[in-house]
Structure 1
Amino acid sequence: MAGLCFDMYGTLCDTSSVRTRLGETLAVPDRLVAAIDETWRRKQLQYSYQSAQMDDYEPFWDITAHALDYALAAYDVDPSADDRERILTGYDNLDPFPGAAEALDRLSAAGHEVVVLSNGNPAMLKRLADDAGLSPHLDGILSAHAVRTFKPDPAVYEHAADSLGLPIGDCRLISSNAWDIAGAGNAGMATTWVNRTRDPPEHIGARPDREVRTLPEVADDLA
């Protein structure tokens, strides 16, 4: 059996569900809400890469806040401090994808150790896992914060293997993010890509070992 490491943001939980909070708080047209959300997520990832490459680590919650501020400024939206905080805390209340808890339970019942491996810092991951109802279905939460860098740095995947007490080749990353799959595979992990939108794989880094469309299919494949 293996150590199964699930990405949190975009894999177990839907980052686009912050659009509801954005729309309710800003009272702007849906098209603008979608644009702000897309820019926020893109900048969140970009800032994590920049932080790692510049060796200037900040916790992922701070990275997320910087990205939100960029997205709001890009569309000339200036909410009050209270409204900004309300939007930011939407990352504590993301919706789990369909079948997430059931897939985790099936894999755990099959004898796998099932954990989260995420760029999120421990406090924000715990808040989200609790709110999404996933905490009881997980054996643990592992964070890139422990090595003060971000995926796809190999140190994050190596940290997961060390924490699980397993050779890295006996660990598997399950992620919907193609860049995450490429990084984990390069580091020596097995990988399953949850490719919901039928994207092509990355052309830099490793190709996925397995590819599915949904979280229940991960359990079908590995349980």
Structure 2
Amino acid sequence: MMSSSSTCPYDAARESWATVRIPSMSAAVASRMSMVGSVRCRSLNGPGGGWHNYKRLSRVPPCMAGLCFDMYGTLCDTSSVRTRLGEVLGVPDRLVAAVDETWRRKQLQYSYQSAQMDDYEPFWAITSHALDYALAAYDLAPDAEARDRIRDAYNHLEPFPGAVEALTRLSEAGHDVVVLSNGNPAMLERLADNAGLAPHFDDVLSADAVRTFKPDPAVYEHAAETLDRSIGDCRLISSNAWDVAGAGNAGMATTWVNRARDPPEAIGARPDREVTTLPAVADDLC
């Protein structure tokens, strides 16, 4: 079992190691983590082909982890919508930033509300409702065509630096690499294609399959079932602290990409690995 003072046995075999923090864990989280190996690797990649542009899931030894990447805010930058907002709205940068922040905040809030109220709508609809709120909050009233152009920015989010590098290295090391996102399948497929990430995924898993949203445990359980693994043999990689807390509570291993160096959530499980960049995820797990 890994604790705050433990080191991975893989360290001794490495000449270099990413800066990775292993926070202290509560007894409950440590118990869940007792069945999880944090660093696993093999030398051969799985076969290509499969659904859409994505590689088919390979048969891998039980010691390998199924790596589940969050898409929005982890692999792709949701704030890259600001370019489109500025072009369409023609307002000062400070107002563009405020609309963007409100849009993202309401997008997450509405997903929570939808799940709690048992009133599911696909994430594209949630994103549209959140945009409508953000525009109204700042007395902006673009027409329907302009709103469509703004929404379309979510199909063209920019990948974070190192995203392709990290996914490539992890895949070549033999890990199954999948997306696990609140996005509905169509919007995830569009974004993966446009961002150039699709060839690096073994599969794309959506919360839409269980008609709720993260951090509902059902989403993480769905990923484990699809990967045909115990939930403790799956690892979520996310920049969203609330997502990490939810996955950990459900029993997943977690890596938090903490770019802002924020404190962890006060509710839910703490991450068992913490890095600040996507390439550092690969440094840790390859």
Name the TM-score class by shorter chain: over 0.9
Q: Which residue of 2 aligns with 1:22?
A: 85
Q: Is 1:128 the counterpart of 2:191 in the alignment?
A: yes
Which residue of 106, 118, 140 corresponds with 2:203? Answer: 140
Question: Which runs of structure 2 are paired with 1:1-223 in the superposition (5 Å)?
Answer: 1-223=64-286
**Structure 1 match to 2:44:** none
> TM (normalized to structure 2)?
0.78
Deviations 1:13-38 (A, max 9, x none): 00000000000010000000000000
Q: Equivalents in 1 of 2:222, 2:183: separation in Å?
A: 14
Q: Which runs of 5+ in 1 are unaligned?
A: none
Query: Alpha-carbon deviations, 1:118-143, whole Å to 9, x = none?
Result: 00000000000000000001101000
Q: Which has the higher helix share?
A: 1
Give the TM-score normalised by structure 1: 1.00
> 1: distance between equivalents of 2:165 and 2:102?
32
| 5+ residue gaps, structure 2 | 1-63
- Distance (Å, rounded) in 2 between the aligned partners of 1:160 and 1:138: 14
Instruction: Letter of the 1:112 partner, please give it.
Output: H
Q: Distance in 1 between matches of 2:174 and 2:200?
A: 13
Report the Cα distance in structure 2 between the residues aligned to 1:50 and 1:137, rounded to whole angstroms.
32
Q: 3-state SS of the aligned residue for 1:208?
A: coil
Q: Give the C-alpha shift of residue 80 in structure 1.
A: 1.3
Q: RMSD over aligned Cα, in angstroms?
A: 0.3
Q: Shift of the alpha carbon at 1:102?
A: 1.1
Aligned residue identity for 1:21: R
Based on CA coordinates, which of the two structures has the bigger radius of gyration? 2
Q: Distance in 2 between matches of 1:4 and 1:101?
A: 15
Secondary structure in structure 2 of the residue aligned to 1:172: strand
Q: % of aligned pairs identical? A: 83
Partner deviation per Cα, 1:67-112 (whole Å, 9 max, x = no partner) = 0000000000000111100000100000000110110110011111
